[in-house]
C-alpha cells in the first residue's frame, strides 16, 4: 500500500507521542511490525535556532524507514526553513502538527490553534510543500471547538499535502470523550489523498472496525502501544490475515521491557536511561501481579543494574513464570 507516495508494508502507523516514541522505542515498534513511524513533534523554531536538544528529536536511523519527521510551529517562513533543514536528513515524509492541544504549544499559535485560522493553516502547508521535494503530510484534530475537519482537509489537499492523519477530537476535548470515527469517514470521502485514521484504538478488533467504518487507508496507534508494542503485530495479523490476537505472557512482556531498557542504556547512558525508562517500565508491568509494589521499588532506584536485577528477580517468581 502507499501513503503519500511511500510504499508501506503494513497498515499500522506508530503515532508520534512526545516523551515516549524516541528512537529506542520506535525501533522496538518497527520490530513489532509498525509500517510507518513518526518522530515526536519537534519545534520548527528550535530547529532553525539549531538548539541541540531539538536536533536530537529529528535524528533517526535507516532501520526506521519509512519514517516521518513531525514539525510544529505557527509561522509559514519558519516552518519552511525548518523543513529545508530537516530535508538534509532525508526523511521519507515531513509531517505538520495541526493537532497538539497542549497549552504551551497553542498559546504560541501552533498545533491545534492553527485550526482556528484555516487560511493560515493553508499558508503553512503551502510554504512547507514549496520548500522541499519530500512529501509533506498533516496530522489534524477535528477542530478547535467545533468540527472543521472536512474544510481544513480540503484546504490542505489544495495546498499540496500528500496525506492526512485524522484524530477526530477537538482541542477543547483534549483526550476526553470519544474520538468520533464518523469524522474520519467524512474526511476520507471529501479528499482524494490517503487518510490515516487515529484515536481510541485499543485492540486489533478496534483497528479493523475503524478501517471498515471509515474506509481509512491505514490506522495509527498511540497510547495503546505504550508498554504494549504487541498491539502492532496483532493489528497487522488480524487486519491482513484474520488471525485473532493472542496476548503475550508476563515473561514475554518483561523480556521486551528488559530489551527496551538495555537499548535505552546504550543510547542515553545508564543514569539518564534509568530515569527516562521509569514510565515505560510502569506501562509494561501494568496489570501484572504485585505491579504496584514492583513499580514503587523500581521508581526508588537510581542504578540501572539494580533495576535490571529487580526485573530479573520478578520474572523468576512462580506466579510470573508459571501463571495459573
Ligand atoms: C503523551 C502523548 C504525547 C503525544 N505527542 C504527540 C506528538 O508529539 N505529536 C502528535 O501529533 N500527537 C501527539 N499526541 C497525540 C497522539 O499522536 C494521538 O493522536 C492521540 O493520542 C490519539 O491516539 P490514541 O487514542 O491511539 O492514543 C500525543 C499524545 C499523548 C497521549
pLDDT tens readout for residues 256-313: 999 999 999 999 999 999 999 999 999 999 999 999 999 999 999 999 999 999 999 9
Distance CA 118, CA 151 (A): 8
Which residue has the least CA distance to atom 5 on ligand 1? 17
Taking 70 as the threshold, does the pLDDT of residue 324 lie above it?
no
Task: Pick the atom of ligand 1 nearest to 179's CA.
Answer: 25
Tell the CATH topology of 250-321. Answer: 1.10.1200
The pLDDT value given to residue 321 = 83
17 CA to centre of ligand 1 in angstroms: 5
Please give the average per-residue pLDDT across 201-222, as a whole number: 98
Nearest CA to ligand 1 atom 23: 199
- Cell 493553516 appears where? 121
Architecture of domain 2-241: Alpha-Beta Barrel (3.20)
Measured at the alpha carbon of residue 71, what is the angle toward residues 68 and 73, in degrees to the nearest 5?
165
- How far is the C-alpha of 197 from the C-alpha of 321, rounded, in Å? 38
* Cell numbers standing for residue 189: 470521502
- Show me where the domains of the chain are located: 2-241, 250-321
6-14 average pLDDT score: 98
Give per-residue pLDDT as tens, 38-69: 999 999 999 999 999 999 999 999 999 999 99
pLDDT tens-digit readout, 70-119: 999 999 999 999 999 999 999 999 999 999 999 999 999 999 999 999 99
> Which residues, judged by CB distance below 6 Å to any ligand atom, belong to the binding site of ligand 1?
15-20, 40-41, 70, 97, 99-100, 139, 167, 198-201, 221-224
**Catalytically annotated residues:** 100
- Ligand 1 centre to CA of 21 (Å) is 10
pLDDT given for residue 7 in this prediction: 97
Distance 243 CA to ligand 1 centre (A): 27
Say whether pLDDT at 322 is over 90. Answer: no
Report the separation in Å between the CA atom of 167 and the middle of ligand 1, taken as the mean of its atom positions: 9
Q: How far is CA 295 from CA 106, 155, 175, 289, 292, in A?
A: 34, 47, 25, 11, 5
Nearest Cα residue to atom 2 of ligand 1 = 17
Q: Among residues of the chain, what percentage have pLDDT more than 90?
A: 98
Count H helices and E strands in the chain, helices first.
Answer: 16, 11
Which residue, judged by its Cα, is nearest atom 15 of ligand 1? 17
pTM, full prediction: 0.98
CA distance 125 to 134: 13
Could you report the per-residue pLDDT of 114-147, keeping only the tens digit for each?
Answer: 999 999 999 999 999 999 999 999 999 999 999 9
For residue 222, the model assigns a pLDDT of 98
Amino acid at each position: 500500500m502507499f501513503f503519500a507516495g511511500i510504499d508501506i508494508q503494513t497498515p499500522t502507523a506508530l503515532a508520534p507521542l512526545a516523551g515516549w516514541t524516541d528512537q529506542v522505542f520506535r525501533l522496538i515498534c518497527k520490530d513489532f511490525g509498525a509500517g510507518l513511524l513518526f518522530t515526536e513533534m519537534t519545534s520548527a523554531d528550535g530547529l532553525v535556532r539549531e538548539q541541540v536538544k531539538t536536533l536530537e528529536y529529528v535524528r533517526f536511523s535507516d532501520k526506521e524507514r519509512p519514517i516521518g519527521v513531525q514539525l510544529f510551529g505557527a509561522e509559514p517562513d519558519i516552518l519552511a526553513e525548518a523543513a529545508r533543514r530537516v530535508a538534509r536528513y532525508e526523511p521519507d515524509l515531513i509531517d505538520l502538527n495541526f493537532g497538539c492541544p497542549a497549552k504551551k504549544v497553542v498559546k504560541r499559535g501552533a498545533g491545534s490553534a492553527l485550526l482556528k485560522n484555516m487560511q493560515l493553516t493553508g499558508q503553512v502547508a503551502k510554504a512547507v510543500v514549496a520548500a522541499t521535494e519530500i512529501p509533506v503530510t498533516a496530522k489534524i484534530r477535528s477542530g478547535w471547538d467545533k468540527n472543521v475537519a472536512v474544510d481544513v482537509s480540503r484546504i490542505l489537499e489544495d495546498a499540496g499535502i500528500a496525506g492526512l492523519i485524522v484524530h477526530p477530537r477537538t482541542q477543547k476535548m483534549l483526550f476526553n470523550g470519544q474520538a468520533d470515527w464518523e469524522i474520519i469517514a467524512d474526511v476520507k470521502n471529501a479528499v482524494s489523498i490517503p487518510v490515516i485514521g487515529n484515536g481510541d484504538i485499543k485492540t486489533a478488533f478496534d483497528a479493523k472496525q475503524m478501517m471498515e467504518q471509515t474506509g481509512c487507508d491505514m490506522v495509527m496507534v498511540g497510547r495503546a502501544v505504550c508498554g504494549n508494542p504487541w498491539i502492532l503485530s496483532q493489528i497487522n495479523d488480524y487486519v491482513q490475515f484474520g488471525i485473532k490476537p493472542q496476548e503475550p505472557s508476563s515473561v514475554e512482556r518483561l523480556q521486551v521491557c528488559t530489551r527496551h531498557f538495555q537499548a535505552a542504556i546504550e543510547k542515553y547512558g545508564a543514569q539518564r536511561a534509568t530515569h527516562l525508562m521509569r514510565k515505560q517500565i510502569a506501562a509494561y508491568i501494568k496489570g501484572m501481579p504485585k505491579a504496584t509494589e514492583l513499580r514503587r521499588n523500581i521508581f526508588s532506584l537510581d542504578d540501572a543494574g539494580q533495576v535490571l536485577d529487580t526485573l530479573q528477580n520478578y520474572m523468576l517468581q512462580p506466579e510470573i513464570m508459571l501463571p495459573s
